[in-house]
Amino acid sequence: MTPAEHAGGGGSAGPAAENVEYRVAHLRDRLAAEELGELGVRAEVRAGSVVVTGTVPSTQCRETVLRTVREELSGLAVHTDVVVADNASPDHAEDLP
């Protein structure tokens, strides 16, 4: 541990903040590169926690995203708002003026 890390200064750009940024970047890489290929999901650090938002095509995809988030960000405060896109066919014709 370096003296700067040991001193634990009061800034938010310290080692802990850098570690969170690194973990979020790794999460983004996994979401984009693995079987998901899910680019419609965003993860960012806001006010000391991680916010994960986006729209996915299916419930199964949503569960996979949430599982990946739990694996990568365990121990961090995480807020998720990942919704499933409504891909259902319309049940009636649209009336255009």
Dump pLDDT digits (tens) for 4-54. Answer: 333 333 444 556 667 999 999 999 998 888 766 766 889 999 988 999 999
Cα gap 78→73, rounded to integer Å: 8
**pTM across the whole model:** 0.69
Whether 1 maps to a domain, the answer reads no
Give residue-wise pLDDT tens across range 40-91.
889 999 988 999 999 988 899 899 999 999 999 999 999 999 999 876 666 6
Q: What is the count of structural domains for the chain?
A: 1
> Counting Cβ atoms within 10 Å, is residue 43 exposed (0-12), middle (13-18) or buried (19+)?
buried
pLDDT at position 52 is: 95
Cα gap 95→64, rounded to integer Å: 38
Cα gap 33→3, rounded to integer Å: 37
Query: For position 22, which CATH number holds?
Result: 3.30.1340.30
Q: Mapping DSSP to helix (H, G, I), strand (E, B) and coil, where does residue 67 land?
A: helix
Cα gap 42→80, rounded to integer Å: 10
Whether 6 maps to a domain, the answer reads no
